[in-house]
Structure 1
Amino acid sequence: MQVIYKGKNKGRRLWLLLLLVLGGTPMAWAQRSAGLRGTVADSLSGQPLAGVSVGLLGQPGGTATDALGQFQLKNLVPGAYQLRVGALGYRLKSPRVTLLAGETRGLTITLAPTALDLAEVTVSQPRDLNQTLAAISHIDQTLRPINSAQDLLRLVPGLFIAQHAGGGKAEQIFIRGFDADHGTDFSVNIDGMPVNMVSHAHGQGYADFHFVIPETVEQLKIYKGPYTARFGDFATAGAGEFSTKTSLDRSQVKLEVGQYATRRALVLLDLLGTHHLLSKKPESAYVAAEYNFTNSYFDNPQHFKRFNGLAKYTGQLSDKTSLVLLSSHFQSSWDASGQIPERAVAEGLISRFGSIDPSEGGSTRRTNAYAILTTALPHDAVLRQQAYYSRYYFSLFSNFTFFKDNPINGDEINQQDTGRNVWGYTATYDRDDHLGPRNLHSTWGVGTRLDDGGLLLRHAVQRVPTDTLTTGRLHEQNVHAYLDETLDLTDRLSVNAALRADLFVFDFRGQITDSTGVLGPLRGRVNAARVSPKLNFYYQVSPAVQLFWRSGLGFHSNDARGVVRETNPAQALPRATGTEVGSTFKPVPALVVNAALWYLRLQNELVYSGDDGTTESVGATQRFGLDVSARYQLTPRFFLDADANYSHGRLLERAEYDNYIPLAPTFTSIGGLTYRQPNGLSASLRYRHIDSRPAVEDNSIRAHGYFLLDAVLSYTRPRYQVGASVQNLLNVNWNEAQFATTSQLRGETMPVTELNYTPGTPFYLKLNGSLFF
């Protein structure tokens, strides 16, 4: 008995020692039992505000409001405090509170919108540490003019896009040394719903963002690299997470007219105002619709038409529960001039804006619906559940090689998603805990996505299908789970560690042509899994300087048709290994800078070419680079911004000088000068630059770089707005999409490999006017 008694004393002494290490004696710890909790809401709409920074003036650390606008600060020494409550675009509030021992004070704080002041921007991210570009993206959303869904993608620092099918296809994406095609290595999400399409008829990860009405987008969060557990498939170079507005400040009718028979009409209509639908607490509902038409600048009129419609409800069902419902529909059709070979223009066969095969074009549509239920649970936890559904259709007629394979009728192909259903569910459980006196934030996440639909690849002549190359039914499912932990090791140093697991089921049942042109079976089922750990450190040197080091494993899935042909699970989910070190800092109050030195290695991958129905392994690749973004407020009315991005990439399994990654950007930069006057006048002059780069592995063919200037002018009053925008102000000739392609024109005896391109927009003027009510 005596031995056991001594063991108990020893255990107690060890426990007391642990308490001393973590924060002092139990008595001293108890004295720090005061606390604060509260809710932050928009003063106009009454809706809770998520992501608002809440801290104690003059002290490091702090927190941020959760999805329900709630916050808490625990383990405070009794005494007087002054809070700092702020978010970009809102007036800073600094209420004073006095806390007694054992007291937990409750606060309700409302923030009023105000003009942008970079001196009030904070570089710390107490809740979502992995969003190191938060300050930069918030500034861009406030300052940069947004006229289209393409402009939304350009808000991502370092991201360039290229359109090459009459405005109807998803843009080609370039970021961090990747020609990410239409989204293979960059994940795009809207309100938690994925935009990228797996095993798409035209390209893996195809992210058509045109179903989003730009005026309805409220927020953008940017994540570079594979360092965030919330994102799985396609998030190798990074991810963009867009959010639509919870409510409208006012209803709006907008008309736009421009060159080349361009017309656009927009309606935003607030449905509730001060009325209530499901509860007596703050709620909102609105509808939005837009119609676009243009013939564009090509010799062959584009006859581009697009319609978007959206309806959204957001409501507080109770103090602890909120509900979001959304439905949207999008449809588009167009004619395309396609990519043209340089020799056709040089020989005078067509102009820069001409077409070899004017029958190119396509149509697409997408219907979305989702419901989000967010609930506050005991123990300072929040449960967010989302269920979504999409119905998708896509048909594209293209001709890249002209008469190389069929000298009589041409090489036109038709790619189709013949009716895809996408079902999904995600749930996250967020909880704030303490490890001793240290804050610990935990997130558990689970989810699944199921894609089911038909895929078709055919030859065609003047949009009349002839023979079938590939046909079949896709059934692809992903199930994932992750645990994400963020611990404050000290008042300044935080560590974020996460582990994500993904399971994929690739199933395709169909047919494919062999080398003799005979249809044969293409059927198979492959299961593949990935475990992706993440480890990130953040050090808050001061309220104006944050350092970070991040690392993680990620992946992108490959096309199911190629996966079942290879039946190799290792090639189904090629791994990405990345790391970066950098800082977000303010050398002076009016200047915000983000800089990161990064490295990314991509494992051997299987690439599916939807244009001809074949697969190709390109082996391992390696990239490293430097990203720098700066935002500077020259005066209360003038703002400067600039992004510069350098990358160096190589194929690792090819000989030197034959190991360039085709179309991988080496240097890009974007920036501008913005003027904003309190009376409503604003103007912006912006530039875009991308360097020339290899188009083939041996660098014998190069894609041409360009430098463009755009301008925007607007005048806004409480009841109306008028404005104008100009693309390519200097009217320079530039190539938007570029590829090294082997093609053959009618009358040529041999195919030629050279640069084929889609010409970029010439000088393009567009006027707009809005009424608010």
Structure 2
Amino acid sequence: MKIFYAILLSLFTTALCAQTLKGKIFSAANLPLEDVYLQNQRTGKHAHTNEAGFFLMREVKHGDSVRISLLGYRPLVVVVKGAEMNISLSSSNIRLDEVVVSEGVNHLSSVAAVDIATTPVNSAQELLRKVPGLFIGQHAGGGKAEQLFLRGFDLDHGTDINISVDGMPVNMVSHAHGQGYADLHFLIPELVEKIDFDKGPYHADKGNLATAGYVAFQTRDRLENSSLNLEGGRFNTFKGLGMINLVNDSRQSAYLAGSYIKTDGPFEASQDFKRLNLMGKYTRSFANLDRLSLSAMHFSSSWLASGQIPQRAVDEGLIGRFGAIDPNEGGKTSRTNVNLQYDHAVNETTNLKSSAFYSRYDFELYSNFTFFLNDPVNGDQIRQKEGRNIFGFQSVLDKKYSSGGADLGLQFGAGVGGDVVNDIELSHTLGRSATLEQIQFGNVSEWNPYAFINSEIELGKLLINPAIRLDYFSFAYTDHLKGNLRRSTAKATLSPKLNFLYNQNKNLQFFLKLGKGFHSNDSRVVIAQTTSDILPAAYGADLDVSWKPAPRLILNAALWYLYLQQEFVYVGDEGVIEPSGRTSRKGVDFGVRYQLNNWLFLNGDITYNHGRALDEPGGANYIPLAPPFTFTGGLSIKDLGRFSGSIKSRYLASRPANEDNSIIAKGYFITDANIHYTWKRFTLGIITENIFNRAWNETQFATESRLSGESQPTEEIHFTPGTPFNIRGVLTVRF
């Protein structure tokens, strides 16, 4: 009986001693710090701070030691003496030994945080290159959205990758140029604070187009200081960037930023590229941990383009590598965004995050892919044009439970997105002035209400992440060329996900990810009933590992498979995207991050991808432009006295340009470098591109075309030449 009472007393005492620890973590400037990692040294339990710097940790006892760390800050170990604590962290040099790989389903985001900290972004193009294995290519004078490549996909301009900024979609469905068109140029790259990404269809909060993966950018809530940045270099290039702090204290922050870029580019016919970017953001934190954020962005650009030129024209000496067949290509575009976000702390374990946004977008693009193939007299120039209104609202309820040895997190999300497009047009034009024929002309209305449930069940070292998403799509197209004939259709799709994470310890984590995703087809294709697959599905599986075998070495690897019910293929003679058949892809990803000493960092990412069309015979089943192998890597210097800099290389292997592999798109290996020197409030820098001045093709397509004077058409590689050696000087003043 005495033993029974002793056990009962022990359990009762343990229950009394166990408690929930809460608090806030700030910087030395008394500003809240997000994503701080806290770990109980006794139980191994961990927690993170939210945007307000608040954290909640369960099963903590008086006298427990809690380790607190954040990349770029000096770590602390504190002893628990009560139920609440507020901690201040002081900044320090970047140390990879502070990175914890076992952070959850979105584990690759820690890799992006390391890359941003060690190699800051210098241009809008570098933003997407921060995603390991993601390659981009520009082929229309700098103003058009880049062509994207990831996991054996030619993603065109965003067909199979979901891209967002502060929760607002960048992709535009049923776009005049291509499905999922993702023009990220409205984002000022120096204002990006965080990049969240993953590959595959494994996340319930990511819906349409999230098949190859997703990329979510988060802009800064506050600036460390005001600054003025001036750049100038070859090809009459100039950039001015101003970022002004209006308010910056522990309760609220506000800033304004503006950027202007102009360049003629390396082409014989000047690009005459101009882009203006503006952004303002206000953030307010309340005493009850609620948080309000309001931002507005605007950008506009105009440009000329030399387009994609045929290889034979260069070989025969008709034009140079940087010449043009039709110098009247180019366009103009603009986008204005207003985004409101409100996070409400219902209680210490429940949060409600709501957001609403509106975008106004205008687009006009002139292209000529085939020259004189279809019209031997006037040429084949086309105009793609639209005016678009984009609406969206979403609320996500996040609730955490704890019972016994298990922790449960639940997310309930619902929202709606809508694209209303007026006068979407494809026309045959002459000299950017005369309209010879309207091929398509009408209005698009597309709405997507959705809901999802995401759960995370933590059982000791094992985390199980089942989730499900429901999407409903309504498509409508009004054809102005057929007496305003209106047609509509609708469909729903269910996307289940199931992920397993096993945390061997804080330095080793294993993943098994399973999920179904989808991409929607263009409304005009759906309404015309040229395809019965309105929402073709994608099924994926990943087996991943993240490992820190040494304090300053991070390795990650993935073995993956992806099946698509329907592919999209670029058709060069029309300049459009149209659906094709089923495909499968499989591959291996490998990445390394290593800190050699206090100021020298190495990073590298290798991908191998194998993809084939399943409905075509062997030898004719290649997926055009799908890269089989990629590599990115480099060395970065961070805070070597007053110096910082990097040297970075990227390799995209040669790949089939058509279905039977008879035409090859040549690969390239390009190296860029930069160096910066900081003295007091000033930073001087030099940024170089293609330091070995290699002749390379940035984008390539197998296209059938006919030049003026040719009697027969020819199918061959058409390409946009990559930038030759380029150098820019940079001056930054902080105040």
Q: TM-score range by the shorter chain?
A: over 0.9
Question: C-alpha displacement at 1:117, in angstroms?
Answer: 0.6
Question: What amino acid maps onto 2:86 in structure 1?
Answer: T
Q: Relative to structure 1, is the Cα distance of residues 606 and 221 closer, same or farther in structure 2, using a 3 angstrom cutoff?
A: closer
1:210 counterpart (179, 185, 188): 185
Q: Relative to structure 1, is the Cα distance of residues 392 and 544 closer, same or farther in structure 2, using a 3 angstrom cutoff?
A: same
Q: Is the 8 A contact 1:290 1:309 kept in 2?
A: yes
Aligned position for 1:237: 212
1:449 counterpart (407, 417, 429): 417
Q: Distance in 2 between matches of 1:686 and 1:52?
A: 29
Q: Distance in 2 between matches of 1:613 and 1:335?
A: 18
Aligned position for 1:403: 372
Q: Distance in 1 between matches of 2:622 and 2:438?
A: 35
**Normalised by the size of structure 1, how large is the TM-score?**
0.91
Question: What amino acid maps onto 2:442 in structure 1?
Answer: G
1:117 counterpart (95, 110, 114): 95
1:201 counterpart (176, 183, 188): 176
Q: Distance in 1 between matches of 2:111 and 2:597?
A: 18
Aligned position for 1:565: 528
Q: Is the 8 A contact 2:228 2:242 kept in 1?
A: yes
Aligned position for 1:181: 156
Please say if 1:764 is aligned against 2:726: yes
Q: How does 1:584-595 map to 2 (within 5 A)?
A: 584-595=546-557
1:718 counterpart (680, 686, 689): 680
Q: Relative to structure 1, is the Cα distance of residues 177 and 605 closer, same or farther in structure 2, using a 3 angstrom cutoff?
A: closer
Q: How does 1:96-135 map to 2 (within 5 A)?
A: 96-98=79-81, 105-125=83-103, 129-135=104-110
Q: Distance in 1 between matches of 2:567 and 2:364?
A: 27
Please say if 1:352 is aligned against 2:314: no
Question: C-alpha displacement at 1:610, in angstroms?
Answer: 10
2:126 counterpart (151, 159, 162): 151
Q: Relative to structure 1, is the Cα distance of residues 34 and 603 closer, same or farther in structure 2, using a 3 angstrom cutoff?
A: same
Question: What amino acid maps onto 2:469 in structure 1?
Answer: R
Q: Relative to structure 1, is the Cα distance of residues 73 and 145 closer, same or farther in structure 2, using a 3 angstrom cutoff?
A: closer
Q: Distance in 2 between matches of 1:717 and 1:432?
A: 47
Report the more deviating stretch, 753-762 or 113-122. Answer: 113-122
Q: Is the 8 A contact 2:56 2:348 kept in 1?
A: no
Q: Is the 8 A contact 2:261 2:276 kept in 1?
A: yes
Q: How does 1:19-168 map to 2 (within 5 A)?
A: 27=12, 30-31=15-16, 33-44=18-29, 46-57=30-41, 59-76=43-60, 78-98=61-81, 105-125=83-103, 129-168=104-143
Question: What amino acid maps onto 1:342 in structure 2?
Answer: Q
Question: C-alpha displacement at 1:60, in angstroms?
Answer: 2.5
Question: What amino acid maps onto 1:670 in structure 2?
Answer: T
Q: How does 1:156-555 map to 2 (within 5 A)?
A: 156-273=131-248, 282-378=251-347, 380-417=349-386, 419-454=387-422, 455-464=424-433, 465-490=435-460, 492-511=461-480, 523-555=486-518
Q: Is the 8 A contact 1:136 1:629 kept in 2?
A: no
Question: C-alpha displacement at 1:521, in angstroms?
Answer: 6.5
Q: Distance in 2 between matches of 1:577 and 1:61?
A: 33
Corresponding residue SS for 1:566: coil
Q: Distance in 2 between matches of 1:567 and 1:353?
A: 38
Aligned position for 1:17: none
Q: Is the 8 A contact 2:682 2:732 kept in 1?
A: yes
Q: Relative to structure 1, is the Cα distance of residues 30 and 162 closer, same or farther in structure 2, using a 3 angstrom cutoff?
A: same
Q: Distance in 2 between matches of 1:161 and 1:141?
A: 18
Corresponding residue SS for 1:131: coil
Aligned position for 1:10: none
Q: Relative to structure 1, is the Cα distance of residues 345 and 608 closer, same or farther in structure 2, using a 3 angstrom cutoff?
A: closer
Question: What amino acid maps onto 2:277 in structure 1?
Answer: N
Q: Distance in 2 between matches of 1:139 and 1:675?
A: 13
CA RMSD between the two structures: 2.0
Q: Distance in 2 between matches of 1:70 and 1:54?
A: 11
Question: C-alpha displacement at 1:616, in angstroms?
Answer: 3.9
Corresponding residue SS for 1:596: strand
Question: C-alpha displacement at 1:523, in angstroms?
Answer: 3.4
User: Any gaps of 5 or more consecutive residues in structure 2?
Assistant: 1-6
Question: C-alpha displacement at 1:42, in angstroms?
Answer: 3.1
Q: Is the 8 A contact 1:130 1:223 kept in 2?
A: no
Q: Is the 8 A contact 1:562 1:606 kept in 2?
A: no
Corresponding residue SS for 1:563: helix
Aligned position for 2:621: 659
Question: C-alpha displacement at 1:92, in angstroms?
Answer: 1.4
Question: What amino acid maps onto 1:382 in structure 2?
Answer: N
Q: Is the 8 A contact 2:370 2:572 kept in 1?
A: no
Q: Distance in 2 between matches of 1:480 and 1:660?
A: 35
Q: Distance in 2 between matches of 1:473 and 1:498?
A: 35
Aligned position for 1:4: none
Question: C-alpha displacement at 1:28, in angstroms?
Answer: 7.7
Question: C-alpha displacement at 1:520, in angstroms?
Answer: 7.4
Question: C-alpha displacement at 1:108, in angstroms?
Answer: 1.5
After superposition, the C-alpha distances for 1:299-352 in whole angstroms (9 at most, x for unaligned) are: 010000000000000111333211101011100000000000000000000000
Q: Relative to structure 1, is the Cα distance of residues 434 and 58 closer, same or farther in structure 2, using a 3 angstrom cutoff?
A: closer
Q: Relative to structure 1, is the Cα distance of residues 24 and 744 closer, same or farther in structure 2, using a 3 angstrom cutoff?
A: farther
Q: Is the 8 A contact 2:179 2:577 kept in 1?
A: no
Question: How many corresponding residue pairs?
Answer: 727
Question: What amino acid maps onto 2:471 in structure 1?
Answer: D
Corresponding residue SS for 2:581: strand
Q: Relative to structure 1, is the Cα distance of residues 564 and 296 closer, same or farther in structure 2, using a 3 angstrom cutoff?
A: same
Question: C-alpha displacement at 1:685, in angstroms?
Answer: 1.1
Q: Is the 8 A contact 2:591 2:604 kept in 1?
A: yes
Question: What amino acid maps onto 2:437 in structure 1?
Answer: D
2:581 counterpart (600, 619, 622): 619
Q: Relative to structure 1, is the Cα distance of residues 420 and 610 closer, same or farther in structure 2, using a 3 angstrom cutoff?
A: farther
Please say if 1:747 is aligned against 2:709: yes
Q: Is the 8 A contact 2:572 2:702 kept in 1?
A: no
Aligned position for 2:591: 629
Q: Distance in 1 between matches of 2:354 and 2:655?
A: 44
Question: C-alpha displacement at 1:98, in angstroms?
Answer: 3.4
Corresponding residue SS for 1:318: coil
Question: C-alpha displacement at 1:522, in angstroms?
Answer: 5.9
Aligned position for 2:3: none
Q: Is the 8 A contact 2:297 2:338 kept in 1?
A: yes
Corresponding residue SS for 1:140: helix
User: Any gaps of 5 or more consecutive residues in structure 1?
Assistant: 1-19, 100-104, 275-280, 513-518
Q: Is the 8 A contact 2:93 2:598 kept in 1?
A: no
Q: Distance in 1 between matches of 2:223 and 2:687?
A: 24
**Normalised by the size of structure 2, how large is the TM-score?**
0.96
Percent identical among aligned pairs is: 44
Question: C-alpha displacement at 1:157, in angstroms?
Answer: 0.5
Q: Distance in 1 between matches of 2:575 and 2:135?
A: 27
Q: Distance in 1 between matches of 2:41 and 2:169?
A: 39
After superposition, the C-alpha distances for 1:727-771 in whole angstroms (9 at most, x for unaligned) are: 111111100010000000000001100000000000001111011
Question: C-alpha displacement at 1:571, in angstroms?
Answer: 0.9
Question: C-alpha displacement at 1:605, in angstroms?
Answer: 4.6
Q: Distance in 2 between matches of 1:251 and 1:203?
A: 39
After superposition, the C-alpha distances for 1:556-594 in whole angstroms (9 at most, x for unaligned) are: 1110000111186x5111100001001111111111011
Report the more deviating stretch, 586-595 or 60-69. Answer: 60-69
Question: What amino acid maps onto 1:48 in structure 2?
Answer: P
Corresponding residue SS for 1:344: helix
